[in-house]
């Protein structure tokens, strides 16, 4: 897998540091830490990489699930580190509030699209009415939507029997 050589004046600059030209296409991936199916994540990201070779992957750096799968995809596809933006939650500092804070900051940093891979909530003794998605990923997808970022829980992954179909009820 190769990319065409770029010998133009922009070749020496990186999307992260150049001050002019089109902004790189930032793709925010959110999802459940229980998400195990790599195929829909790879398919969605591969499609976006074809149309946006300058793709920058943004995710929450969870060591399991959708974040980890997306991160591995980026490394498999040879994205340099400056095109993988990781937003780990500061669990020790902010405890239970860390995920929400991280999601707010990650969404505020901006993205062109948000891909959501959300499993049903698996929290023991969760008191929210079922069915609903895992809380952290739903929070991130809703914040992205509220910020005007298109959120895409579309086929093929919405056909997964245990995946959540998000509904936002109208425009952000
Ligand atoms: Zn729950």
DSSP string over 75-126: HHTT--GGGEEE----HHHHGGGHHHHHHHHHHHT--SEEEEE-BBP--TT-
Centre of ligand 1 from the C-alpha of residue 65, in Å = 17
Centre of ligand 1 from the C-alpha of residue 122, in Å = 7
Centre of ligand 1 from the C-alpha of residue 138, in Å = 10
pLDDT at 101: 98
Centre of ligand 1 from the C-alpha of residue 157, in Å = 20
Centre of ligand 1 from the C-alpha of residue 133, in Å = 7
Centre of ligand 1 from the C-alpha of residue 127, in Å = 7
Centre of ligand 1 from the C-alpha of residue 171, in Å = 25
What is the C-alpha to C-alpha distance for residues 40 and 45, in angstroms, rounded to an integer? Answer: 8
Ramachandran angles phi, psi of 21, nearest 5°: 85, 170
pLDDT at 59: 98
One digit per residue, the tens of pLDDT, for the chain of length 172 reads 444 444 434 433 344 444 556 789 999 999 999 999 999 899 999 999 999 999 999 999 999 999 999 999 999 999 999 999 999 999 999 999 999 999 999 999 999 999 999 888 888 899 988 778 889 998 999 999 999 999 987 433 444 445 666 666 555 5
pLDDT at 50: 96
pLDDT at 122: 86
Which residues are 163's β-sheet partners? 119
Centre of ligand 1 from the C-alpha of residue 120, in Å = 8
Centre of ligand 1 from the C-alpha of residue 134, in Å = 6
Spatial contact of 85 and 57, defined as CB atoms under 8 Å apart: yes
Reading the block at residue 170, the tokens are: 């109208």
Which residues are 114's β-sheet partners? 28, 151
Centre of ligand 1 from the C-alpha of residue 10, in Å = 47
Ordered by where they begin, the domains of the chain are 22-159 (3.40.50.450)
Centre of ligand 1 from the C-alpha of residue 121, in Å = 5
Centre of ligand 1 from the C-alpha of residue 131, in Å = 8
């Amino acid at each position: 897998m190769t990319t065409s050589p770029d010998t133009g004046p922009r070749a020496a600059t990186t999307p992260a540091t150049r001050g002019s030209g089109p902004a790189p296409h930032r793709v925010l991936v959110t999802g459940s830490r229980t998400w195990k199916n790599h195929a829909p994540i790879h398919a969605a990201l591969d499609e976006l990489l074809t149309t946006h070779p300058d793709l920058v992957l943004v995710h929450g750096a969870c060591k399991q699930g959708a974040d980890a799968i997306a991160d591995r995809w980026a490394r498999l596809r040879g994205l340099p580190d400056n095109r993988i933006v990781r937003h780990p939650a500061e669990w020790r500092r902010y405890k239970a509030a860390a995920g929400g804070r991280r999601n707010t900051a990650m969404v505020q940093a901006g993205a062109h699209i948000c891909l959501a891979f959300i499993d049903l909530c698996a929290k023991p003794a969760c008191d929210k009415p079922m069915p609903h998605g895992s809380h952290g990923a739903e929070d991130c997808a809703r914040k992205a939507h509220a910020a005007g970022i298109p959120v895409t829980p579309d086929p093929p992954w919405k056909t997964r029997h245990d995946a959540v179909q998000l509904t936002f009820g109208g425009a952000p």
